[in-house]
Amino acid sequence: MPATATLRRPSPDGHAGPVLRTESLGVRFGRQEVLRDISLDMPVGETLVILGESGCGKTVLLKTLIGLIRPTSGAVLFEGRPLAELSERNLAHLRTKYGFVFQGAALFDSLTIHDNIAFPLREHTRLPDSEIDRIVESLLGEVGLPRAVGRKKPAELSGGMRKRAGIARALALDPVVILYDEPTTGLDPIMSDVVAELMLTVRSRPNVTSIVVTHDMRTARKVADRIIMLYPLSRLGPDEPQIVFEGRPADLDRATDPRVRQFVEGRAGNRLMELRDEQRHADGGSP
């Protein structure tokens, strides 16, 4: 689905603008600046993929979008409402509109898969057990897991099955926004493609906006309507933008920025020398 087509789709609450927006967003931990001047609109129905090497602030951005990290400067707006203005109670309620697919699935080891998926329904709704059971079984089917898997514990499943169970749990409350943090990490190419296909299925749900952090270029090209690439602030000048690429997947092939080409093509380039210089600096300049 083209990104431009999603701009006209209203949200379930009738909000006509982007479901999520960041305005000059900045995040700093002590003296370490992680995000700087990030301004993004995320339209309803779009799948936005965030690329960038480790340490550039991708996961920090995800956590800021959900209100788990408060920005040092700028703002995050959900359907036009600044998260910073919400009370903790209202913010907790707002998070029920998000689904979060964690890098390691983050399932509760002591619970069965059925109870893992049912957990948000039991915490945030008053549905009877029979209705919760029906929803869980439907979600298991949606992510391609047999009903019998519901009786198993996470340790009894393969990595791919745990990922799919994590997606099912993220969908339990029928969220408006789904955040994926490295959804294919640790999976073989075939299972990575299975997860990517599931993400495309999720995208077909009405009014669902997806935001994906990944290093997997194949997945990025397959699921994205739009891609941005962040660059570590430690290697940027004070006036250089942190977003070094923004465009459609096909635009990556035409990007001329050497930083983008190096990442997309998986080339080390001068990074080994840079890493050695960073280590010498951290060690106080010793050779």
What residue spans define the domains of the chain? 3-9+25-249, 256-287
Q: Report the alpha-carbon distance of residue 78 to residue 35 in Å, rounded.
A: 19
**Tokens 């635009």 label which residue?**
251
State pLDDT tens for residues 232-286: 999 999 889 999 999 999 999 899 999 999 888 877 666 555 555 555 655 565 5
State pLDDT tens for residues 72-90: 999 999 999 999 999 888 9
What confidence score (pLDDT) does residue 1 get?
Answer: 32
Q: Which residues pair with 48 in a beta bridge?
A: 211, 226
Stronger pLDDT, 158 or 9, i.e. the higher one: 158
- What is the overall mean pLDDT for the chain? 87
User: CA torsion, points 40, 46, 52, 55, in degrees to nearest 10?
Assistant: 70
What confidence score (pLDDT) does residue 272 get?
Answer: 57
Number of other CB atoms surrounding residue 253 within 10 Å: 9
Nearest 5°: CA angle at 150, between 149 and 154? Answer: 75
Cβ neighbours of residue 10 closer than 8 Å, sequence gap 6 or more: 16, 44, 207
Number of other CB atoms surrounding residue 27 within 10 Å: 21
Number of other CB atoms surrounding residue 127 within 10 Å: 14
Q: Which residues pair with 243 in a beta bridge?
A: 230
Q: Please give the CATH number for the structural domain made up of 3-9+25-249.
A: 3.40.50.300
CA atoms within 13 A on the CB side of 230: 28
Specify the pairing of strand 177-181 against strand 209-213.
Answer: parallel
Looking at residue 156, the DSSP 8-state letter turns out to be G
What confidence score (pLDDT) does residue 10 get?
Answer: 45
Q: Report the alpha-carbon distance of residue 32 to residue 38 in Å, rounded.
A: 16
State pLDDT tens for residues 157-178: 988 899 999 999 999 999 999 9
What confidence score (pLDDT) does residue 113 get?
Answer: 96
Q: Report the alpha-carbon distance of residue 151 to residue 155 in Å, rounded.
A: 12
Q: Mean pLDDT over residues 39-58, rounded?
A: 93
Residue closest to 62 by CA, chosen among 195, 210, 167: 210
Under 8 Å between Cβ of 150 and 140 = yes
What confidence score (pLDDT) does residue 215 get?
Answer: 86
**Where residue 9 falls among pLDDT bands split at 50, 70, 90?**
very low
Per the structure block, which two tokens stand in for 196? Answer: 């990517």
Measured CA distances, 41 to 19, 20, 22, 125, 154 (Å): 8, 6, 7, 30, 36
What confidence score (pLDDT) does residue 287 get?
Answer: 52
What confidence score (pLDDT) does residue 2 get?
Answer: 33
Specify the pairing of strand 177-181 against strand 47-51.
Answer: unpaired
Residue closest to 244 by CA, chosen among 253, 231, 255: 231
Q: Mean pLDDT over residues 208-228, rounded?
A: 94
